[in-house]
Amino acid sequence: MANNLTQHKKDFLVYVEIERGRSAKTVENYNHYLERFFSWLAEDKNVSRETLQLEDLNEDKVRAFRVWLNRKNLSKQTQNYHVIALRVFLKFLAHKGIEALSSERLELAKTGAREVAFLEEDDLERLLNAPKGKDIRTLRDKAVLAMLFSTGMRVSELCSLDTENINIEKGEFAVRGKGDKIRPVFISEKPKRILKDYLEARANIVEKALFVRIPRGKSVTNFTRLTPRSIQRLIKYYAVKAGIVGKRVTPHVMRHSFATDLLRNGADLRSVQELLGHASITTTQIYTHFTNPQLKKIHEKFHRDPE
């Protein structure tokens, strides 16, 4: 069993969760990508997964697996996720002093520049004003939209918020983001008022989650935390209601809109990086092509249409 790949994978997942302190979702993702590779490898060698050994994980097999992934028409980014999982697994083996393929032998595929989708000001205004009414469900929906744009939080971060996390008067609180890192989040004045209206409307709801499902029926008391999928559906519903056509509006588009708005109004890149919770400023730089007013000035000054 010393060189059994399946056992090493189990040890790796425990290591990632306990010693590295990664989230359950991260562990789940690593397991998913490694499982796909192990299943392919077992089928390729015509053996059971449980009998796979370390020596089966070699450079030729990894290359063949990548060809297989590519021919399944997966995006380059998705293909890279598999490679990243393998590299982290191999680094774990090296860390434990187990001789295996070097992680440095695995290079990521080159990907094109990431596309950044965001809402222009008029679309954004219509979306934020789309929830109409004073009932608790509408007030909740309005607060969800306002919080996403005001804070730039990831949808998973928004869903994890509890009522005790929020200090409306201060307009500032901490959120635990990717890599278990804590960063400050700020709420501007209008979202403060919207959130306050929602909290007053849900005062009798005994549930620690900030944003909850509102069941139909007055006697129902079973309130549960909203999920990312629920918020995706919520945003899609109000985007249609707001008349936003030809654009896919998602929680991440709201996050992109937050970042774009900051940079267009003069915020520096490093501050936006901190507000978004990006580990690397390279990730934040994807927005600069869309927010650099100097590019437009150069185009207007030097570009001439033919007579």
Q: What is the Cα 106 distance to its own chain's centre?
A: 25
Mark whether 178 is an active-site residue: yes
Catalytic residue among 49, 76, 178, 183: 178
Cα–Cα distance measured from residue 226 to residue 157, given in angstroms and rounded to the nearest whole number = 11
Mark whether 252 is an active-site residue: yes
Mark whether 278 is an active-site residue: yes
Amino acid at 237: Y
Q: What dihedral do alpha carbons 101, 7, 108, 59 form, nearest 10°? A: 30
| Bridge-based pairing state of the strands 182-186 and 172-176 | antiparallel
Catalytic residue among 82, 154, 202, 256: 154
Q: Give the ranges where 113-227 is alpha helix by DSSP (H).
A: 121-128, 136-151, 155-159, 189-201
Mark whether 255 is an active-site residue: yes
DSSP secondary structure of 26-52: HHHHHHHHHHHHHHHHHHHHTS-GGG-
Catalytic residue among 66, 202, 255, 256: 255
Mark whether 303 is an active-site residue: no
Q: What phi and psi, each to the nearest 5 degrees, are found at residue 176?
A: -95, 115
Q: Which two tokens stand for residue 275?
A: 């507000």
3-class state of residue 283 by DSSP: helix
Catalytic residue among 36, 193, 252, 264: 252
Catalytic residue among 33, 198, 238, 287: 287
Mark whether 183 is an active-site residue: no
Question: What residues act catalytically?
Answer: 154, 178, 252, 255, 278, 287
